[in-house]
């Protein structure tokens, strides 16, 4: 990769961080110590859309610590949005399953985001989203935790 492209990716990465901050601010936390709705959606989405079934899988996929995911999962179990299921291949790493409350929360967040995007007046060109997805894939792969551990 050349220097100009790398600097463009740096700027895009910084912009993604701003977007995440704005989205988390938009999804206000209702009470101290509770999970930000954006973070809760991210965990549910990682289970539902990406097929991660255990705390270690979620942590690895999202590039965060297992302990941080476990803390979130513990709160989400208390909130009854997810639960545990037996994992026949690993007794101490149980499967996570999304409960009805979690499905409703995920669908509601999806609907809110879709509505917000649909109401936005600026139109994208037909290939814009596909190009953005390819760029995000490159950024995600560059920051893949597995690659960093091998360095």
Q: What percent of the chain has pLDDT over 70?
A: 91
Listed in sequence order, the residues at least 6 apart from 80 whose beta carbon sits closer than 8 Å to its beta carbon are 99, 101
64 pLDDT more than 80: yes
* Structure token pair of residue 41: 């959606």
pTM of the predicted model over 0.75? yes
**pLDDT tens profile 19-28:** 888 887 777 6
C-alpha closest to that of 9 among 129, 125, 117, 141: 141
Question: What is the share, in percent, of the chain residues with pLDDT greater than 90?
Answer: 58
Using the predicted structure, report yes or no on whether residue 34 has a pLDDT greater than 80. Answer: no
CA distance 116 to 111: 8
Structural domain range at position 38: 3-150
Residue written as token pair 């973070």: 39
Domain count, the chain: 1
pLDDT of 21 reads: 84
**Closest residue by Cα to residue 54 from 63, 36, 66:** 66
Q: Looking at residue 131, which CATH number applies to its domain?
A: 1.10.10.10
């Amino acid at each position: 990769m050349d220097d100009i492209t790398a600097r463009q990716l740096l700027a895009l990465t910084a912009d993604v961080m701003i977007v995440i901050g704005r989205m988390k601010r938009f999804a206000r936390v209702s009470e101290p110590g509770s999970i930000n709705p954006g973070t809760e959606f991210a965990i549910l989405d990682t289970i539902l859309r990406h097929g991660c079934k255990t705390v270690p899988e979620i942590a690895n996929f999202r590039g965060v610590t297992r302990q941080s995911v476990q803390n979130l999962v513990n709160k989400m179990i208390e909130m009854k949005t997810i639960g545990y299921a037996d994992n026949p291949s690993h007794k101490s790493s149980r499967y996570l399953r999304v409960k009805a409350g979690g499905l409703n929360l995920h669908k509601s967040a999806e609907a809110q985001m879709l509505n917000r995007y649909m109401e936005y007046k600026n139109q994208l060109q037909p290939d814009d989203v596909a190009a953005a997805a390819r760029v995000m894939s490159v950024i995600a792969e560059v920051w893949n935790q597995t690659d960093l551990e091998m360095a």
